[in-house]
Amino acid sequence: MSEAPRDHVAIDVGYHDHDPSVTDLEAMMSDLNMNPSASSSSSRHCIFRIPNNLLSHNENAYVPEAFSIGPYHYAKQHHKSTAQKIKLRYLHGLISRLSSAGITLRDIADTIRGIEEEARACYAEPVDMCVDEFVKVLVLDGCFIVELFRKNAYEDLRGDNDNDPVFSTSCVLQFLYHDLILLENQIPWLVLDRLFDMTNVINPNKYYKSLTRLAIDFFNNIFHFSPPSILPLLTNKEFESKHILSLLRNSLVSSSEKAKDKNWGWQRLPPVTALDEMGMKFKKGREGVSILDIEFKDGVLVIPLLFFQDMTTECLFRNLIGLEQCLPNCASVITGFVTLMADLIKTTKDVEILCNNGVVDSWLNIEETTAIFYRLYQGTFLKDNYYLGLTNEVFKYYYWKRNHFQRRWPTYRRELKREYFYNPWALISSIAGVVLLVLTFLQTVFTITSSK
């Protein structure tokens, strides 16, 4: 005899008026309600610690090698290090140049102090610094970055170029290309923007480029393609920069048509070798387009040039993915691109085919190049997919070609059997013909060799 279903189940939670666990939870909820700024400030978070699921795959890709920027890695950098001396030298040069305009270091510090609270809210983890210490870090690091971008664009600002501690030493530049693109190693763009405006008073008609343009030009060697238009970055609030890494991501996404194709779901692709066997062609995309703009048409997969410049390329992609994974409401465009390339590149043969077709240009050996996208893909979560339309088209073409071949193979086999293997004498004749051809070739080689 079955029991009647029960509509309600009573659960005794053991509630008591003075239950410490309940009291603590009520106090925590009350504290949250009394501090609405805590929840509102979280919406301004844009500089994050890398999650462990990404960090575990290559910790070195997220840690500065020489130049600590901002508060997260400040304690790890000794104040007498070479990098710190270079920062101070750049700050001294800037203040000396501004003296003719009556702008002092105190003026700059007071300006940044006025936005200190807003800048602090950009960091997802609490900044364990007093106001004065935090302002000092923002002023020193911010002025250094602004001066670095200016000197990259205007050589006359370097003075004696041979004595410039950055541009006279190529390894220092390589350190900066690496360290300035790390998610944990950022200061807010609002700080850089305020410092740039305040210090851009000496001959502004000569030094006319915007901070956005200067920053993109500095990192142009990493992307290895024509600089994108900065107009969307200046006029579209969707691409408002939050820091340098955010600017670099926006420059890729804003110049890409693919970023408009938002979908959900994922269609895995066969690797390049499998597509190649089915007759698909691979072609390098035209110059001047975003690396994200992969296209498929008439059996040809068009991929913009992928340039692998030592391990900086992996570092850049890792931190761009980290930003997309951590930033609320951030489209997973870069993550989707990396996932797509991880599907296409499985073996060294895949990379070899892409290299032969001008799609990949790598300074790394072929094994390292092959492993990059597989490593990048690990630990990521794809919230939305901007390549679903493309992958569906490639997938349909691939299976159409494969099914066509499978349907035709019995016909090919019957024709082969009918023409060459219809009876034992035909088989013997075919084998004899092949042997005779090989012997003739060997005799020719022997004759040529003997005559020398």
Residue 250 forms part of a structural domain: yes
Residue 226's pLDDT is 58
Residue 26 forms part of a structural domain: no
Residue 312's pLDDT is 85
Task: Take residue 434 and report the two structure tokens written for it.
Answer: 């092949």
Q: 192 with 94, same domain?
A: yes
Residue 280 forms part of a structural domain: yes
Q: 229 with 335, same domain?
A: no
Q: 367 with 319, same domain?
A: yes
Q: 248 with 346, same domain?
A: no
pLDDT in tens, 221-242: 776 655 566 666 665 666 789 9
pLDDT in tens, 35-75: 555 555 577 899 999 999 898 888 999 999 999 999 999 98
Task: Take residue 440 and report the two structure tokens written for it.
Answer: 């003739």
CA-closest candidate to residue 214, choices 144, 138, 151: 151
Residue 363 forms part of a structural domain: yes
Q: 235 with 313, same domain?
A: no
Q: 334 with 201, same domain?
A: no
* Residue 385 reports pLDDT greater than 70: yes
Find the domain containing 381 and state its range.
258-396
Q: 249 with 267, same domain?
A: no
Taking CB atoms within 8 Å and a gap of at least 24, the contacts of 64-67 are: 64/178, 64/179, 64/182, 64/185, 65/175, 65/178, 65/179, 66/172, 66/175, 66/176, 66/179, 67/175, 67/176, 67/179, 67/180, 67/185
Residue 35 forms part of a structural domain: no
Residue 443 forms part of a structural domain: yes
Q: 229 with 116, same domain?
A: yes
Q: 128 with 156, same domain?
A: yes
Cβ atoms within 10 Å, residue 51: 13
* Residue 296 reports pLDDT greater than 80: yes
Residue 168 forms part of a structural domain: yes
Q: 156 with 290, same domain?
A: no
303 sits in which H/E element: strand 300-303
At 17, the amino acid letter reads D
The DSSP symbol for 62 reads G
* Residue 253 reports pLDDT greater than 50: yes
pLDDT in tens, 179-221: 999 999 999 999 999 999 999 988 888 888 999 999 999 998 7
Looking at the 3D structure of the chain, how many domains does it have?
3
Residue 156 forms part of a structural domain: yes
Q: 106 with 218, same domain?
A: yes
Among 254, 288, 320, the domain boundary falls at 254
pTM score of the predicted model:
0.81
Using DSSP's 3-state secondary structure scheme, residue 133 falls into helix
Exposure string over 200-226, b if 16+ CB within 10 A, otherwise e: beeeeeeeebebbbbbbebbeebbebe
Q: 263 with 175, same domain?
A: no
